[in-house]
Chain A
Amino acid sequence: MERMPAWADALLVPLISLAVAFAISSGVILAIGENPWEALKIMVTGALGSSYGWGYTLYYATNFIFTGLAVAVAFHASLFNIGGEGQATLGGLGVALACLFVPWPHWSLALIGAAAMGAAFGAAWAAVPAWLQARRGSHIVITTIMFNFIAASLLNYVLVNVLRPTGSMDPATARFPGATSLPGIGDMLTAVGIPFAKTTPANVTLFIALGACFLVWALIWRTRLGYEIRAFGKSEKAAVYAGISPVRITMLAMLISGALAGLMAINNVMGEAERLVLNSVEGAGFIGIAVALMGRSHPFGVLLAALLFGFLYQGGAELALWTSIPRELITVIQALVILFTGALDNMVRQPVEALFLRARKGAK
Chain B
Amino acid sequence: MAERQAQGRPEAAALPPAIELRGISKAFGPVQANGDISVRVARGTIHGIVGENGAGKSTLMSILYGFYRADAGEILIGGRPTPIPDSQSAIRAGIGMVFQHFKLVPNFTVLENVVLGAEEGALLRPSLARARRELTRLAEDYELDVDPDALVEDLSVGHQQRVEILKALYRQADILILDEPTGVLTPAEADHLFRILKGLKAQGKTIVLITHKLREIMEITDEVSVMRRGEMVATVRTEATSPEALAELMVGRKVLLRVDKAPAAPGRTVLEIEDLRVRDGHGVERLKGVSLTLRAGEILGIAGVAGNGQSELLELLGGIAQGTGRVRLNGTELDLSGRGCNGRARRAAGIAHVPEDRQHLGMILDFAAWENVAFGYQDAPEYRAGRFFMDNDALRAECEGKMARFDVRPPLPALAGKNFSGGNQQKLIVAREIERNPDLLLIGQPTRGVDIGAIEFIHKQIVALRDAGKAILLVSVELDEIMSLSDRIAVMFDGRIMGLRDPARTDERELGLMMAGMDGTRGAA
Complex interface: chain A residues within 8 A of B28 (CB): 2
Residue of B nearest to A234 (CB): B364
In whole angstroms, how far apart are the Cα atoms of A1 and B68 in the complex?
A: 7
* B320 x A241 contact (CB < 8 A): yes
In whole angstroms, how far apart are the Cα atoms of A235 and B361 in the complex?
A: 8
In whole angstroms, how far apart are the Cα atoms of A243 and B340 in the complex?
A: 10
Complex interface: chain B residues within 8 A of A361 (CB): 69, 71
If A227-B390, A364-B72 touch, whether A238 touches B364 (CB-CB below 8 Å) is yes
* B364 x A231 contact (CB < 8 A): yes
B319 within 8 A of A: yes
In whole angstroms, how far apart are the Cα atoms of A171 and B365 in the complex?
A: 52
Closest Cβ of chain B: how far from A23's Cβ, in Å? 29
* A243 x B345 contact (CB < 8 A): yes
B457 within 8 A of A: no
The proximity string for B residues 17-31 relative to A, scoring 1 for CB distances below 8 Å and 0 otherwise, is: 000000000001000
Complex interface: chain A residues within 8 A of B71 (CB): 361, 364
In whole angstroms, how far apart are the Cα atoms of A238 and B375 in the complex?
A: 9
* A227 x B374 contact (CB < 8 A): yes
Closest Cβ of chain A: how far from B349's Cβ, in Å? 11
Contact residues, A195-231 vs B (CB, 8 A):
222-225, 227-228, 230-231
A11 within 8 A of B: no
Complex interface: chain B residues within 8 A of A242 (CB): 343, 375-376, 378
Closest Cβ of chain B: how far from A259's Cβ, in Å? 16
Closest Cβ of chain A: how far from B302's Cβ, in Å? 19
Contact residues, B345-397 vs A (CB, 8 A):
345-347, 353, 355, 360-367, 371, 374-376, 378-379, 384, 388-390, 392
A237 within 8 A of B: yes
The proximity string for B residues 324-354 relative to A, scoring 1 for CB distances below 8 Å and 0 otherwise, is: 0000000000000000001111110000010
* B375 x A231 contact (CB < 8 A): yes
The proximity string for A residues 333-364 relative to B, scoring 1 for CB distances below 8 Å and 0 otherwise, is: 00000000000000000000000010001001
* A235 x B364 contact (CB < 8 A): yes
* A238 x B360 contact (CB < 8 A): yes
* A237 x B361 contact (CB < 8 A): yes
Specify which of A2, A222, A231, A237 is in contact with B360 (CB 8 Å cutoff): A237
A240 within 8 A of B: yes
A245 within 8 A of B: yes
Complex interface: chain B residues within 8 A of A357 (CB): 69
Complex interface: chain B residues within 8 A of A228 (CB): 378
B8 within 8 A of A: no
Specify which of B342, B366, B388, B389 is in contact with A234 (CB 8 Å cutoff): B366
Closest Cβ of chain A: how far from B311's Cβ, in Å? 12
Closest Cβ of chain A: how far from B417's Cβ, in Å? 10
B449 within 8 A of A: no
B67 within 8 A of A: yes
B318 within 8 A of A: yes
Specify which of A222, A224, A234, A245 is in contact with B378 (CB 8 Å cutoff): A224
Complex interface: chain B residues within 8 A of A222 (CB): 389-390, 392
Specify which of B343, B374, B389, B392 is in contact with A241 (CB 8 Å cutoff): B343
Complex interface: chain A residues within 8 A of B390 (CB): 222-224, 227
Complex interface: chain A residues within 8 A of B367 (CB): 230-231, 234
Closest Cβ of chain A: how far from B74's Cβ, in Å? 14
Complex interface: chain B residues within 8 A of A224 (CB): 378-379, 384, 388-390
* A243 x B346 contact (CB < 8 A): yes
Residue of B nearest to A241 (CB): B361
Of B28, B318, B347, B390, which is in contact with the most chain A CB atoms at under 10 Å from its CB? Answer: B390
Contact residues, B44-90 vs A (CB, 8 A):
67-69, 71-72
If A222-B390, A228-B378 touch, whether A241 touches B365 (CB-CB below 8 Å) is no
Closest Cβ of chain A: how far from B89's Cβ, in Å? 14
* A234 x B365 contact (CB < 8 A): yes
* B389 x A223 contact (CB < 8 A): yes
Residue of A nearest to B70 (CB): A361
* B392 x A240 contact (CB < 8 A): no
Specify which of A1, A235, A243 is in contact with B342 (CB 8 Å cutoff): A243
Complex interface: chain B residues within 8 A of A231 (CB): 364, 367, 375, 378
Residue of B nearest to A235 (CB): B364
* B68 x A2 contact (CB < 8 A): yes
In whole angstroms, how far apart are the Cα atoms of A242 and B373 in the complex?
A: 11
In whole angstroms, how far apart are the Cα atoms of A222 and B320 in the complex?
A: 27
If A234-B365, A235-B360, A364-B72 touch, whether A225 touches B353 (CB-CB below 8 Å) is no
Complex interface: chain A residues within 8 A of B379 (CB): 224, 243
* A243 x B72 contact (CB < 8 A): no
The proximity string for A residues 157-176 relative to B, scoring 1 for CB distances below 8 Å and 0 otherwise, is: 00000000000000000000
Residue of A nearest to B72 (CB): A364
The proximity string for A residues 45-89 relative to B, scoring 1 for CB distances below 8 Å and 0 otherwise, is: 000000000000000000000000000000000000000000000
In whole angstroms, how far apart are the Cα atoms of A364 and B364 in the complex?
A: 33
The proximity string for B residues 25-46 relative to A, scoring 1 for CB distances below 8 Å and 0 otherwise, is: 0001000000000000000000
In whole angstroms, how far apart are the Cα atoms of A235 and B364 in the complex?
A: 7
Specify which of A241, A244, A364 is in contact with B318 (CB 8 Å cutoff): A241
Closest Cβ of chain B: how far from A117's Cβ, in Å? 24
Closest Cβ of chain A: how far from B347's Cβ, in Å? 6
Specify which of A2, A230, A237, A241 is in contact with B353 (CB 8 Å cutoff): A241
In whole angstroms, how far apart are the Cα atoms of A238 and B343 in the complex?
A: 10
If A240-B343, A364-B72 touch, whether A227 touches B363 (CB-CB below 8 Å) is no
Complex interface: chain B residues within 8 A of A234 (CB): 364-367
In whole angstroms, how far apart are the Cα atoms of A231 and B390 in the complex?
A: 14
Closest Cβ of chain A: how far from B419's Cβ, in Å? 11
Complex interface: chain A residues within 8 A of B392 (CB): 222
In whole angstroms, how far apart are the Cα atoms of A222 and B371 in the complex?
A: 11
In whole angstroms, how far apart are the Cα atoms of A238 and B378 in the complex?
A: 13
Complex interface: chain A residues within 8 A of B320 (CB): 240-241
Contact residues, A233-291 vs B (CB, 8 A):
234-235, 237-238, 240-245
Complex interface: chain B residues within 8 A of A243 (CB): 319, 342-347, 376, 379
- Which residues in B have some Cβ–Cβ distance to A below 8 Å? 28, 67-69, 71-72, 318-320, 342-347, 353, 355, 360-367, 371, 374-376, 378-379, 384, 388-390, 392
| Among all A-B residue pairs, the 5 with the closest Cβ atoms | A243-B344, A243-B343, A242-B376, A241-B361, A234-B364
What are some 5 contacts across the A-B interface (CB < 8 A)?
A222-B392, A227-B371, A230-B367, A240-B320, A361-B71
- Which residues in A have some Cβ–Cβ distance to B below 8 Å? 1-2, 222-225, 227-228, 230-231, 234-235, 237-238, 240-245, 357, 361, 364
Given A228-B378, A241-B320, A361-B69, 4 more A-B residue pairs with CB atoms under 8 Å apart are A224-B379, A235-B360, A241-B355, A242-B375
